[in-house]
Structure 1
């Protein structure tokens, strides 16, 4: 891998926090594991399902389900907060629009198509024939699968919903850049414990009032609970990145945040298994009980986010490790995240659809599916980064042209 292939323009080194790089990489790895889990978990709808599902898997999925996407928004906001100190708002707007909206459109028209195709095929709603389906999929006036239409026909962004949400939040923050930076400066003397209390006071009403009213849709226009939660996370991350004492406090108190997160998660799992029947019986009739459950949800959410951020800050904020002395692995993975994010769920669904007829035992099939998805992502990225058009369509910067080497002067007789 040469400097030409992965340029510094792909990974700007402006106030770089290596822990944020590694966290993004690890968060993407967790995302693959989660989506493979969705294929096997019982009672949770997904595009296709294994013939062998597990109820017990739900407990493990719930470990990351409440906060895994919040972590991505938090990291994105922190990175934006750091880079905006050296790059103008107009340049950031152009950069983020190119890196988010173009991949979104390419993903909707090309990469997401297998998800819709194999889902419909598994439900016997269409006949086999991928190309014929694709022509109908991109036709906004198609008569195919009319019960599954949105205002733009069968076109959908599925797992790519993160991209339009991130673009909207980024634009909102850039428009409010000056007052937010002024607020960050004004908050410098405020102790971290008060900031944490403010987070709880903001999030409890969001969870208490909005979550019961607005189902999560990922459809952008009607997803009010998700917007309230993720915008609050985004602004919190933006402010946190500029407050060194808060960031250090998160690192210093990482064990307490982890303990809090484990306690809240344990309560949630115990309640799911009816270990508190008298308490759950009062939920519909007692505001205090409802507030207690909502508070546990909020503390679980932020406990995990801050614990992960704290441990990453303690262990991962360094330019080199024994396995990556020159940082090549980190730089490679950092550049690969967006293309691999675009590819991974379609690859999981395609490979799962191919493996399902083989009736392989789930204990063998699941690890194989994980390996195939990771391998497919790497292979896809290796192809994408070598082709200029695909780089542009997947949000990567153009390859830098190698400069011509100076020819040595050769003395003549």
Structure 2
């Protein structure tokens, strides 16, 4: 199947929506997984769940940055730079601010209640939550007090990366449009992006662990922005895209091998190697190379299979394209609230999971149906004017 840049890219729509759908299952998993801190934890947790969640943990957010950059690249010719900046701000920054003040607040409240740090009463808590000078929970505050973005951290990162790319858009257009760039074989591009991420891994990962706090998250920034720029250029290089589709099976095999290595390493199969990680740059380089190739193998296998089988319209995609941002904003707060109110009943885990999952999906459905009906709520949740 050969693709051209003039086609409507339904496969990218599918991937974006499915990637956000994975977040629902992942964040429900965080409630039940053993030894991974989260806002609230089930009384019964499972060690084996770590091995399931690690399957997507290494690439799910990178996939979102990659796809988001591709989508930006594919629509940019329809708008001026300033129009795109305005659209991105309305789509990302406005929902972020509203989400921090309103949507995320119950998560912070329930987390504090679960640890018996505050008395009952959400509204009195919320007044302190939005007050940057509050004395409540001092040890949990940042420079803006208790106000936080929690799971919405992706929005400010994506907004800033988009603005940077739009500012340098003329330079990127010259590079992408050059004959030299268009003639670069995919294998060369693949090697370059792996080497680029490996340099980031070796120089920044240990010094700057991922924090999602924007200001001191340099490893995450360098990694995510490099992936974002590569996604932007990848979308306009049809030869690369067609190669990924043609080689999708090989990328899937490579991805599975990478996952098996990671699971085996986590379970002590390579203890003699892991013990040298911090003291040997060669060992760190080996691990970094495996992790990075694994990341790209999953991304390219998904892009390849989507390009082969999902580049066609569907009712699900038409609905999800409009609903995905409100669903993203609502889902984790719904999960935390449902987990909190169900926890005292000590239900069997399977039924507890089904109730949280179904309640989250129903809540997102109802929430989207409500917010899409007025101009002000559409704006606050990043929806286009109807």
TM class by shorter chain equals: over 0.9
Aligned partner of 1:275 in structure 2 is 269
Give the Cα separation in 2 of the matches to 1:298 and 1:145.
Answer: 39
Choose the corresponding residue for 1:370, options 349, 357, 372. 357
Residue 288 of structure 1 aligns to a residue whose secondary structure is: helix
* Correspondence 1:297 to 2:291: yes
Write out per-residue CA displacement over residues 335-356 of structure 1, whole angstroms, 9 at most, x where no aligned residue. Answer: 0000110110000000000110
The structure with more radius of gyration: 1
Using structure 1 for the length normalisation, give the TM-score: 0.90
Task: Write out aligned runs for 1:187-202 (5 A).
Answer: 187-202=181-196
Residue 294 of structure 1 aligns to a residue whose secondary structure is: helix
Aligned partner of 1:119 in structure 2 is 111
Residue 85 of structure 1 aligns to a residue whose secondary structure is: helix
Aligned partner of 2:235 in structure 1 is 241
Give the Cα separation in 1 of the matches to 2:16 and 2:275.
Answer: 40
Q: How much does 1:329 deviate?
A: 2.5
Aligned partner of 1:405 in structure 2 is none
* Correspondence 1:49 to 2:41: yes
Give the Cα separation in 2 of the matches to 1:352 and 1:285.
Answer: 42
* Correspondence 1:80 to 2:72: yes
* Cα 1:282/1:219, change in 2 over 3 Å: closer
Q: How much does 1:15 deviate?
A: 4.7
Q: How much does 1:143 deviate?
A: 1.2
* Correspondence 1:64 to 2:56: yes
Write out per-residue CA displacement over residues 356-381 of structure 1, whole angstroms, 9 at most, x where no aligned residue. Answer: 01100112211221111111111100
Using structure 2 for the length normalisation, give the TM-score: 0.96
Q: How much does 1:286 deviate?
A: 3.5
Task: Write out aligned runs for 1:3-42 (5 A).
Answer: 15-42=7-34
Give the Cα separation in 1 of the matches to 2:162 and 2:284.
Answer: 33
Give the Cα separation in 2 of the matches to 1:173 and 1:139.
Answer: 34
Q: How much does 1:283 deviate?
A: 3.0
Write out per-residue CA displacement over residues 375-401 of structure 1, whole angstroms, 9 at most, x where no aligned residue. Answer: 1111100111112211110011222xx
Give the Cα separation in 1 of the matches to 2:282 and 2:126.
Answer: 52
* Correspondence 1:389 to 2:376: yes
Aligned partner of 1:161 in structure 2 is 153
Aligned partner of 2:339 in structure 1 is 352
Aligned partner of 2:319 in structure 1 is 332
Residue 151 of structure 2 aligns to a residue whose secondary structure is: helix
Q: How much does 1:277 deviate?
A: 2.7
* Cα 1:15/1:84, change in 2 over 3 Å: farther
* Cα 1:73/1:284, change in 2 over 3 Å: closer
Aligned partner of 1:102 in structure 2 is 94
The structure richer in helix per residue is 2
Give the Cα separation in 2 of the matches to 1:199 and 1:18.
Answer: 25
Give the Cα separation in 1 of the matches to 2:141 and 2:328.
Answer: 25
Give the Cα separation in 1 of the matches to 2:366 and 2:292.
Answer: 39
* Correspondence 1:254 to 2:251: no
Give the Cα separation in 1 of the matches to 2:65 and 2:281.
Answer: 31
Give the Cα separation in 2 of the matches to 1:145 and 1:281.
Answer: 38
- Runs of 4 or more, structure 1, over 4 Å off, are none
Unaligned runs of 5+ in 1: 1-13, 320-326, 400-413
Aligned partner of 2:172 in structure 1 is 180
Give me the CA root mean square deviation.
1.1
Give the Cα separation in 2 of the matches to 1:164 and 1:277.
Answer: 38
Residue 78 of structure 2 aligns to a residue whose secondary structure is: coil
Contact preservation (8 Å) 1:15, 1:82: no
Aligned partner of 1:314 in structure 2 is 308
* Correspondence 1:266 to 2:260: yes
Q: How much does 1:285 deviate?
A: 4.0
